[in-house]
Amino acid sequence: MGFFFGSKKKKANVIETLNKILETPHKLSVIQPAFTVSSFLLSVGENFIILNEFEPKKYNYQIGSFLRIKIEIEEVRNFQHYNYSFKTAFMREVDFKGTKAYQFELPTTLKVIEQPYTIYPSSKNQITIGFTLKNIHYYKKVTGINKEEIQFTGYFEHLKTYFGTTIYEIELKLPLNRLSLSANFIHNNDKKYSLRDFITNDDIEEVLDNFALEYFIYSNDLPYMRNKIKHTKAIKNYLENDEFDKSDENTIQKILLVDDKPIITDIVTEILEARTDYLIISTNKSTETFELALENNPDLILLDINMPKMDGIQVAEELKKNRITANIPIVFMTVSSNQLHVVAASKLNVEGYLLKPIDSNTLINKISSILKIKRNASKFTGKTIFICADDDEYSRSLINNLKLKDYEIISFQDPERMFRYKDKKKADILIIRLLERKDVILPVVNSVRRKNEFKNCRMLVFPVTGIGAEFLNALDDDKLVVVENAAKPEYIAQNLPLLLLEK
């Protein structure tokens, strides 16, 4: 497959393919006549790509003299092995999210070679196969497996009449899975045999695809961009010595990562350590989550749902019940789009629900956004909120969600009662949502701005009409924030600090 310069469609296909590769970190081989180095694809633009520094680092000083280089990228997807190669030219050194990186021209030609990916299991990734022939059950070590064939050795010459026979209820045991399938029994040569054209269901294919990806990553020892950013002294000390000074603890942002699959915790840890300055604590046992949360007081928890012994929903429920861990933000990372899981997550007021496979940029942006909200939230802890709303159901839901965030709340059904309210408590934050009396919103906002008791109060206002929104946005007031009427109570409660500090 080739793409050529001058064609918008072909250029779009190049960008589309490179963006697909960008979704998960891929090791790049940068090939020169005298040497080969490795790098990572960080970004794809309209006319350029960005790579991080090369490994080994001793070759980076030569970067300016590279006129043209050849790049190869390998990946496994759907049990197929893909090799992408293209040529590009160096443009300039750039800063990428605080990291030194290099900008190269967008390739005009992209060559793709596709072939079935075959796993040749090592002892640590042993695969066995079990099946029945002539009422005898056999167990054999798998010597190779790809999308069309499972290879093994043994002595079956006396059963050659069975060659070509379809065998059912075959057990294929991977390190973590036991599966059933059917296939044709084939004699290859000497003592080599295989089961070909094996029939699977979607679940089995998914397991095989995931295992192929996992095996590919580990067998190629992919070093996911480790330590390519300038870490703070505290994080650098931890990464190098597996410990940190207690005096630095308050400056370190900690992420607790929980997933029963080591490949997920390994990859996500490598990505976050390479591209952020967070301290990553991980476990493959969901039952350890609560203890680790108490011990480390993480700023955020990344949590899988489908885990043995204790699933992610149960873990989140346990965390929310304890006053020490109740306010730790939780983001689910899961393959589950099960509506029951989505509803359960919503009821727990978790901060995110990301479906795997997760784009690394999406994950980093999500974490950054949540941690920014958390930092801002500390400025509003214990503050008094006045809610002036004529929609009882919305008001109740908003109050219930805000109570989880350590605010003191006083509610009014109409502005007259709010203005007559005489108490020592003054509003730090005022939320106005009047749907039935939309004509009074602008006068109420102006009255609030004139009254001394609301002098230092920040306002969150839901305009009813487009004209009202335009007028409110035009007001030169850094304490006034306009939000859409459709914004749900959960969203307002979750993002209130960020909304108030946006201006």
Tokens of 326: 């109740």
Distance CA 70, CA 32 (A): 7
Distance CA 109, CA 4 (A): 5
pLDDT of residue 143: 92
Partners of 221 in the β-ladder: none
How many residues appear in the chain? 503
Phi first, then psi: give them for residue 431, nearest 5 degrees.
-110, 120
Class of domain 8-115: mainly beta
Extents of the domains making up the chain: 8-115, 123-219, 233-377, 384-500
415: preceding bond cis by omega (within 30 degrees): no
The CATH-assigned architecture of domain 384-500 is 3-Layer(aba) Sandwich (3.40)
Per-residue pLDDT of the chain (503 residues; tens, 9 = 90+): 333 333 344 556 888 888 877 766 566 788 776 667 777 788 888 899 988 777 777 777 777 655 677 888 888 878 888 888 888 888 888 887 667 788 999 988 888 888 888 888 876 668 889 998 888 899 899 999 988 899 998 888 888 888 999 998 888 887 767 788 899 999 887 788 999 988 888 778 877 887 787 677 656 544 333 334 445 555 556 555 555 554 455 567 899 999 988 777 877 887 787 778 788 999 999 999 999 999 888 999 999 988 888 999 999 999 988 888 888 999 998 776 677 777 888 788 788 888 766 667 778 888 988 888 777 766 777 788 899 888 888 888 888 888 766 788 899 988 888 888 877 778 888 998 887 776 778 888 888 888 888 888 888 888 765 545 666 666 656 778 887 766 788 878 877 877 776 55
Domains 233-377 and 384-500 share a fold: yes
Report if pTM > 0.75.
no
In the three-class reduction of DSSP (H, G, I as helix; E, B as strand; rest coil), residue 327 is classed as coil
Tell which residue, 258, 237, 263, 362, has the closest CA to residue 310: 258
Evaluate the CA torsion angle 299, 304, 309, 314 in order and state its sign: positive
* Number of Cβ within a 10 Å radius of residue 5: 11
Alpha helices of 280-414 — where are they, by DSSP H?
289-296, 312-321, 339-347, 360-377, 392-403
HSE toward the beta carbon, residue 87, CA cutoff 13 A: 8
DSSP assigned state of 378: T
The identity of residue 428, as a single letter, is D
In the three-class reduction of DSSP (H, G, I as helix; E, B as strand; rest coil), residue 398 is classed as helix
Distance CA 108, CA 105 (A): 9
Phi first, then psi: give them for residue 216, nearest 5 degrees.
-60, -45
Integer-rounded Cα radius of gyration of the chain: 29
Q: With beta carbons less than 8 A apart as the criterion, state whether 82 and 114 touch.
A: yes
Query: Residue 294 CA to chain centroid, in angstroms?
Result: 24
In the three-class reduction of DSSP (H, G, I as helix; E, B as strand; rest coil), residue 279 is classed as strand
pLDDT of residue 317: 92
pLDDT of residue 6: 35
Q: With beta carbons less than 8 A apart as the criterion, state whether 442 and 474 touch.
A: no
pLDDT of residue 234: 57
pLDDT of residue 485: 66
Fold entry, domain 123-219: Thrombin, subunit H (2.40.10)
pLDDT of residue 256: 95
The CATH superfamily assigned to 233-377 is Response regulator (3.40.50.2300)
Distance CA 84, CA 74 (A): 6
Q: With beta carbons less than 8 A apart as the criterion, state whether 428 and 419 touch.
A: no
The Cα-based distances of 56 to 1, 39, 208, 286 in angstroms read 31, 9, 34, 38
Tokens of 96: 């990428």
